[in-house]
Protein backbone atom coordinates (compact mmCIF):
# COMPACT_ATOMS: atom_id res chain seq x y z
CA UNK A 1 0.00 0.00 0.00
CA UNK A 2 1.56 3.28 -1.09
CA UNK A 3 0.74 6.55 0.60
CA UNK A 4 0.60 10.02 -0.97
CA UNK A 5 1.99 12.15 -2.38
CA UNK A 6 1.72 10.37 -5.72
CA UNK A 7 3.97 11.34 -8.60
CA UNK A 8 2.32 12.37 -11.85
CA UNK A 9 3.77 12.45 -15.36
CA UNK A 10 1.94 14.53 -17.99
CA UNK A 11 2.52 13.50 -21.61
CA UNK A 12 1.07 16.36 -23.65
CA UNK A 13 2.56 18.09 -26.70
CA UNK A 14 0.56 21.32 -26.34
CA UNK A 15 2.07 23.70 -23.80
CA UNK A 16 -1.03 25.60 -22.68
CA UNK A 17 -3.23 22.52 -22.03
CA UNK A 18 -0.29 20.85 -20.25
CA UNK A 19 0.23 23.83 -17.95
CA UNK A 20 -3.49 24.11 -17.28
CA UNK A 21 -3.72 20.42 -16.41
CA UNK A 22 -0.68 20.65 -14.14
CA UNK A 23 -2.15 23.62 -12.28
CA UNK A 24 -5.34 21.69 -11.47
CA UNK A 25 -3.44 18.56 -10.38
CA UNK A 26 -1.14 20.57 -8.11
CA UNK A 27 -4.16 21.92 -6.22
CA UNK A 28 -4.62 18.40 -4.84
CA UNK A 29 -2.09 17.83 -2.03
CA UNK A 30 -2.12 14.08 -2.68
CA UNK A 31 -0.41 14.56 -6.06
CA UNK A 32 2.87 16.05 -7.25
CA UNK A 33 3.45 16.79 -10.93
CA UNK A 34 6.90 15.31 -11.43
CA UNK A 35 7.32 16.55 -14.98
CA UNK A 36 5.59 17.38 -18.25
CA UNK A 37 6.93 15.93 -21.51
CA UNK A 38 5.88 16.20 -25.13
CA UNK A 39 6.83 12.84 -26.64
CA UNK A 40 7.20 9.13 -25.99
CA UNK A 41 10.99 9.46 -26.12
CA UNK A 42 11.02 12.04 -23.32
CA UNK A 43 8.53 10.04 -21.27
CA UNK A 44 10.68 6.90 -21.52
CA UNK A 45 13.60 8.84 -20.05
CA UNK A 46 11.53 9.85 -17.04
CA UNK A 47 10.09 6.37 -16.49
CA UNK A 48 13.54 4.76 -16.51
CA UNK A 49 14.74 6.98 -13.67
CA UNK A 50 11.76 8.09 -11.61
CA UNK A 51 8.95 6.35 -9.66
CA UNK A 52 5.79 7.50 -11.44
CA UNK A 53 2.39 6.54 -10.06
CA UNK A 54 0.00 8.21 -12.50
CA UNK A 55 0.25 9.30 -16.14
CA UNK A 56 -2.01 11.72 -17.97
CA UNK A 57 -1.56 10.62 -21.58
CA UNK A 58 -2.59 12.74 -24.55
CA UNK A 59 -3.61 10.19 -27.15
CA UNK A 60 -2.47 12.26 -30.14
CA UNK A 61 1.07 13.37 -29.21
CA UNK A 62 3.56 14.06 -31.98
CA UNK A 63 6.35 11.64 -32.83
CA UNK A 64 6.90 8.13 -34.12
CA UNK A 65 4.45 6.74 -31.57
CA UNK A 66 1.05 8.21 -30.82
CA UNK A 67 0.03 8.48 -27.19
CA UNK A 68 -2.40 5.61 -27.71
CA UNK A 69 0.35 3.34 -29.05
CA UNK A 70 2.79 4.44 -26.35
CA UNK A 71 0.18 3.64 -23.69
CA UNK A 72 0.28 -0.02 -24.74
CA UNK A 73 4.04 -0.02 -24.23
CA UNK A 74 3.69 1.52 -20.77
CA UNK A 75 1.01 -0.99 -19.80
CA UNK A 76 3.37 -3.81 -20.81
CA UNK A 77 6.49 -2.43 -19.09
CA UNK A 78 4.98 -0.60 -16.10
CA UNK A 79 1.63 -2.31 -15.32
CA UNK A 80 1.52 -0.76 -11.84
CA UNK A 81 1.16 2.79 -13.22
CA UNK A 82 -2.35 4.18 -13.50
CA UNK A 83 -3.05 5.82 -16.83
CA UNK A 84 -5.61 8.47 -17.69
CA UNK A 85 -6.23 9.08 -21.39
CA UNK A 86 -6.89 12.61 -22.59
CA UNK A 87 -8.18 13.33 -26.07
CA UNK A 88 -10.37 15.58 -28.17
CA UNK A 89 -11.75 12.48 -29.90
CA UNK A 90 -14.15 9.81 -28.65
CA UNK A 91 -14.35 7.41 -31.60
CA UNK A 92 -14.33 3.63 -31.33
CA UNK A 93 -10.62 3.25 -32.16
CA UNK A 94 -9.60 5.50 -29.27
CA UNK A 95 -11.91 3.62 -26.92
CA UNK A 96 -10.35 0.34 -28.03
CA UNK A 97 -6.86 1.64 -27.26
CA UNK A 98 -8.01 2.76 -23.80
CA UNK A 99 -9.47 -0.68 -23.11
CA UNK A 100 -6.39 -2.55 -24.36
CA UNK A 101 -4.06 -0.38 -22.29
CA UNK A 102 -6.42 -0.80 -19.30
CA UNK A 103 -6.61 2.96 -18.89
CA UNK A 104 -7.99 3.98 -15.51
CA UNK A 105 -10.02 6.86 -16.96
CA UNK A 106 -10.74 8.64 -20.24
CA UNK A 107 -11.09 12.45 -20.31
CA UNK A 108 -12.28 14.56 -23.21
CA UNK A 109 -10.63 17.85 -24.10
CA UNK A 110 -10.95 20.69 -23.45
CA UNK A 111 -10.12 19.85 -19.86
CA UNK A 112 -12.81 20.51 -17.27
CA UNK A 113 -11.62 21.05 -13.71
CA UNK A 114 -14.48 19.15 -12.05
CA UNK A 115 -13.86 16.06 -14.18
CA UNK A 116 -10.15 16.15 -13.41
CA UNK A 117 -10.61 16.57 -9.67
CA UNK A 118 -13.20 13.77 -9.58
CA UNK A 119 -10.84 11.47 -11.49
CA UNK A 120 -7.97 12.34 -9.14
CA UNK A 121 -10.13 11.46 -6.16
CA UNK A 122 -10.83 8.00 -7.59
CA UNK A 123 -7.19 7.55 -8.60
CA UNK A 124 -5.95 8.42 -5.11
CA UNK A 125 -8.21 5.77 -3.60
CA UNK A 126 -6.99 3.18 -6.11
CA UNK A 127 -3.34 4.04 -5.45
CA UNK A 128 -3.85 3.86 -1.71
CA UNK A 129 -5.06 0.33 -2.26
CA UNK A 130 -7.93 0.35 0.21
CA UNK A 131 -9.27 -3.23 0.32
CA UNK A 132 -12.82 -1.93 0.77
CA UNK A 133 -12.74 0.19 -2.35
CA UNK A 134 -14.99 -1.11 -5.14
CA UNK A 135 -12.22 -0.73 -7.73
CA UNK A 136 -10.49 -3.73 -6.15
CA UNK A 137 -13.21 -5.89 -7.71
CA UNK A 138 -12.26 -6.41 -11.32
CA UNK A 139 -15.66 -7.23 -12.84
CA UNK A 140 -19.21 -6.37 -11.82
CA UNK A 141 -22.10 -8.59 -12.85
CA UNK A 142 -24.96 -6.32 -13.82
CA UNK A 143 -28.61 -6.83 -14.59
CA UNK A 144 -29.76 -8.67 -17.76
CA UNK A 145 -26.36 -10.31 -18.34
CA UNK A 146 -24.26 -7.14 -18.64
CA UNK A 147 -20.75 -7.15 -17.18
CA UNK A 148 -18.56 -4.16 -16.35
CA UNK A 149 -14.77 -4.34 -16.13
CA UNK A 150 -13.74 -1.90 -13.39
CA UNK A 151 -10.14 -1.55 -14.55
CA UNK A 152 -10.68 -1.20 -18.30
CA UNK A 153 -13.99 0.66 -17.86
CA UNK A 154 -15.45 -1.74 -20.40
CA UNK A 155 -19.10 -2.80 -20.69
CA UNK A 156 -20.08 -6.03 -22.42
CA UNK A 157 -22.91 -8.51 -22.75
CA UNK A 158 -22.50 -12.16 -23.79
CA UNK A 159 -18.91 -11.43 -24.76
CA UNK A 160 -19.85 -8.56 -27.05
CA UNK A 161 -18.43 -5.11 -26.14
CA UNK A 162 -20.80 -2.15 -25.85
CA UNK A 163 -19.34 0.93 -27.52
CA UNK A 164 -19.58 3.85 -25.09
CA UNK A 165 -18.98 7.56 -25.42
CA UNK A 166 -16.56 9.23 -23.01
CA UNK A 167 -19.44 10.64 -20.93
CA UNK A 168 -21.16 7.25 -20.82
CA UNK A 169 -17.91 5.67 -19.63
CA UNK A 170 -17.52 8.33 -16.94
CA UNK A 171 -21.10 7.86 -15.73
CA UNK A 172 -20.82 4.07 -15.52
CA UNK A 173 -17.46 4.23 -13.78
CA UNK A 174 -18.78 6.65 -11.18
CA UNK A 175 -21.87 4.54 -10.49
CA UNK A 176 -19.76 1.36 -10.36
CA UNK A 177 -17.35 2.81 -7.82
CA UNK A 178 -20.27 3.95 -5.67
CA UNK A 179 -22.45 0.95 -6.40
CA UNK A 180 -23.52 0.39 -2.79
CA UNK A 181 -25.29 3.72 -2.53
CA UNK A 182 -27.60 5.97 -4.51
CA UNK A 183 -26.09 9.08 -6.10
CA UNK A 184 -28.30 12.14 -6.37
CA UNK A 185 -28.48 14.25 -9.50
CA UNK A 186 -26.42 17.06 -8.01
CA UNK A 187 -23.53 14.68 -7.27
CA UNK A 188 -23.63 13.23 -10.78
CA UNK A 189 -23.83 16.65 -12.38
CA UNK A 190 -20.87 17.86 -10.32
CA UNK A 191 -18.60 14.94 -11.16
CA UNK A 192 -19.58 14.78 -14.83
CA UNK A 193 -19.74 18.56 -15.29
CA UNK A 194 -23.13 18.38 -17.01
CA UNK A 195 -26.32 20.40 -16.90
CA UNK A 196 -29.51 18.80 -15.61
CA UNK A 197 -30.86 18.38 -19.14
CA UNK A 198 -27.58 16.91 -20.40
CA UNK A 199 -27.48 14.41 -17.54
CA UNK A 200 -31.04 13.25 -18.26
CA UNK A 201 -30.22 12.91 -21.97
CA UNK A 202 -27.07 10.93 -21.16
CA UNK A 203 -28.95 8.48 -18.94
CA UNK A 204 -31.73 8.15 -21.51
CA UNK A 205 -29.26 7.32 -24.33
CA UNK A 206 -27.41 4.75 -22.24
CA UNK A 207 -30.63 3.05 -21.13
CA UNK A 208 -31.90 2.95 -24.70
CA UNK A 209 -28.72 1.27 -25.93
CA UNK A 210 -28.65 -1.27 -23.09
CA UNK A 211 -31.64 -1.80 -20.79
CA UNK A 212 -33.75 0.64 -18.74
CA UNK A 213 -32.75 -1.17 -15.55
CA UNK A 214 -29.01 -0.75 -16.05
CA UNK A 215 -29.24 2.67 -14.41
CA UNK A 216 -32.01 2.57 -11.86
CA UNK A 217 -33.95 5.64 -10.77
CA UNK A 218 -34.52 5.50 -7.02
CA UNK A 219 -37.55 7.71 -6.33
CA UNK A 220 -36.65 11.05 -4.67
CA UNK A 221 -33.08 9.83 -4.11
CA UNK A 222 -31.17 9.59 -7.39
CA UNK A 223 -29.57 6.84 -9.44
CA UNK A 224 -27.69 3.62 -8.89
CA UNK A 225 -26.30 0.80 -11.00
CA UNK A 226 -28.51 -2.25 -11.59
CA UNK A 227 -26.55 -5.17 -10.11
CA UNK A 228 -27.28 -8.82 -10.78
CA UNK A 229 -28.83 -10.62 -7.83
Distance CA 103, CA 153 (A): 8
Give, in order, the Cα–Cα distances in Å from 143 to each of 5, 167, 225: 38, 21, 9
What does residue 77 show for φ and ψ, rounded to 5 degrees? Answer: -90, -25
- Indicate whether 24 and 64 sit together in one domain: yes
Distance CA 55, CA 73 (A): 13
Which of the listed residues 128, 144, 174 is the one where a domain comes to its end?
Answer: 128
- Indicate whether 21 and 117 sit together in one domain: yes
Q: How many domains does the chain have?
A: 2
Whether residue 104 lies inside any domain: the answer is yes
| Domain membership of residue 111 as a residue range | 6-128
Which of the listed residues 62, 94, 128 is the one where a domain comes to its end?
Answer: 128
- Indicate whether 62 and 122 sit together in one domain: yes
pLDDT for the residue numbered 7: 94
pLDDT for the residue numbered 64: 77
Q: Are 145 and 158 in contact (CB under 8 A)?
A: yes
Nearest to 121 by CA among 85, 47, 78, 173: 173
Give the start-end residues of each E strand in the chain.
6-11, 31-37, 54-58, 82-87, 105-108, 139-141, 146-149, 154-157, 160-161, 215-218, 222-225
Q: What three-state secondary structure class fits 136?
A: helix
Distance CA 89, CA 70 (A): 17
pTM of the model: 0.58
- Indicate whether 71 and 11 sit together in one domain: yes
Q: The domain spanning residue 202 has which CATH number?
A: 1.10.10.10
pLDDT for the residue numbered 129: 65
| DSSP for 53-84, written as a single string | -EEEEETT-SSSS-HHHHHHHHHHH-TTSEEE
- Indicate whether 152 and 207 sit together in one domain: yes
Q: The domain spanning residue 31 has which CATH number?
A: 3.40.50.2300
- Indicate whether 92 and 122 sit together in one domain: yes
- Indicate whether 97 and 19 sit together in one domain: yes
- Indicate whether 76 and 151 sit together in one domain: no
pLDDT for the residue numbered 73: 87
Distance CA 145, CA 51 (A): 40
What does residue 118 show for φ and ψ, rounded to 5 degrees? Answer: -65, -40
pLDDT tens digits, 97-149:
667 777 788 788 888 888 898 889 888 888 876 433 344 567 899 999 999 98
- Indicate whether 141 and 102 sit together in one domain: no
Which of the listed residues 128, 145, 168 is the one where a domain comes to its end?
Answer: 128
Q: Are 174 and 192 in contact (CB under 8 A)?
A: yes
pLDDT for the residue numbered 43: 92
**Residues lower than pLDDT 70 in the chain:** 1-2, 89-98, 129-137
Whether residue 1 lies inside any domain: the answer is no
Amino acid sequence: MKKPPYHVLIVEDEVIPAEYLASIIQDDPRFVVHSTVQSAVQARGVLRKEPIDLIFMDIMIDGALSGAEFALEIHRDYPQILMIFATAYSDEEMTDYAAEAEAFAYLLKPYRPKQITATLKLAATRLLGSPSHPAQIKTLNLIDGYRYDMEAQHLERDGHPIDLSAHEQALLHLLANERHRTLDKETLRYHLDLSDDSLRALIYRLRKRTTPELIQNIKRSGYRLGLAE
